[in-house]
Amino acid sequence: MAEAARHALVTGASSGIGAAIVARLLGDGWAVTGVSRSEGSEVHPRYRHLALDLSDLDAIAPALEDLRVDALVHAAGLLRVGRLGAMAPEDGEAMWRLHVEAAVRMAEILVPRMAAGGRVVLIGSRTAAGAAGRGAYAASKAALVALARSWAAELMPRGITVNVVAPAATETPMLTDPARGGLAPRLPPLGRFIRPDEVAAAVAFFLSRETDAVTGQQLMICGGSSL
């Protein structure tokens, strides 16, 4: 009898990095539940869409109530910019809610149901190291590294790994989002922006069965930006 497909939940699934991760995992034989507010264009027998606004934290538990997965990939993201003293408080709160609090809510529901071999991958950012005008965004992404390392230490005895993939500026709608407020993305020394499929490949690596011993790590995909 054929082995049942492993099942991943991927947030931000309708576009950008999330959509690339969905496509990669389906190609690798996974069953995927994609979470986003809009449905996107993915059509596949092993894919189902879950309409959910992750910024509505109280809606997360009911939506995931009966779901069991082998992997949680949190790729949903939001960028709001502003220098110290100039950023609207609600913008920082929105990023923290989506990047950090939603990750915690989902992990608290899904990870206790995971068997050995379970995986959690959080999509961070090279900006987590700090960048002028992006302080609140950087802080929310840096928090994901702290969460991943803490959860990794807790979950290693259960055979569950937790890692972060942190890309530099990536070819997604975020690059041209008017909410950037004139803060242009920085072109990496590579001479081009990171491609979503490159981020998806790194996620696939962390989800693979060959990475049982890799946990609590942050993998930068920066095109030389960190050098």
**Does any domain span residue 76?**
yes
Q: Can you say whether the dihedral through the CA atoms of 196, 19, 218, 133 is positive or negative?
A: positive
Identify the CATH number of the domain in which residue 170 sits: 3.40.50.720
* Domain range for 149: 7-221
**Does any domain span residue 32?**
yes
The rounded mean pLDDT for the chain is 93
Bridge-partner residues for 51, per DSSP? Answer: 36
> Which residues are part of the catalytic machinery?
137
Q: Is 163 helix (H, G, I), strand (E, B) or coil?
A: strand
**Does any domain span residue 44?**
yes
Distance CA(210)–CA(4), nearest Å, equals 18
**pLDDT per position as a tens digit, 192-202:** 999 999 999 99
**Does any domain span residue 71?**
yes
pLDDT at position 1:
45
> Would you say 140 and 96 are in contact if contact means Cβ atoms under 8 Å apart?
yes
pLDDT band at 182 (very low <50, low <70, confident <90, very high): low
CB-based burial label for 131 (10 Å; 0-12, 13-18, 19+): middle
**Does any domain span residue 194?**
yes
**pLDDT per position as a tens digit, 17-41:** 999 999 999 999 999 999 999 887 7
Total domains in the fold of the chain: 1
- Category of 83 on φ-ψ map: left (φ > 0), alpha (ψ -120 to 50) or beta: beta
**pLDDT per position as a tens digit, 49-108:** 999 999 999 999 999 999 999 999 999 999 998 899 988 999 999 999 999 999 999 999
**Does any domain span residue 226?**
no
Q: Which of 63-67, 125-129, 181-185 has the lowest mean pLDDT?
A: 181-185
pTM for this prediction: 0.93
**Does any domain span residue 178?**
yes
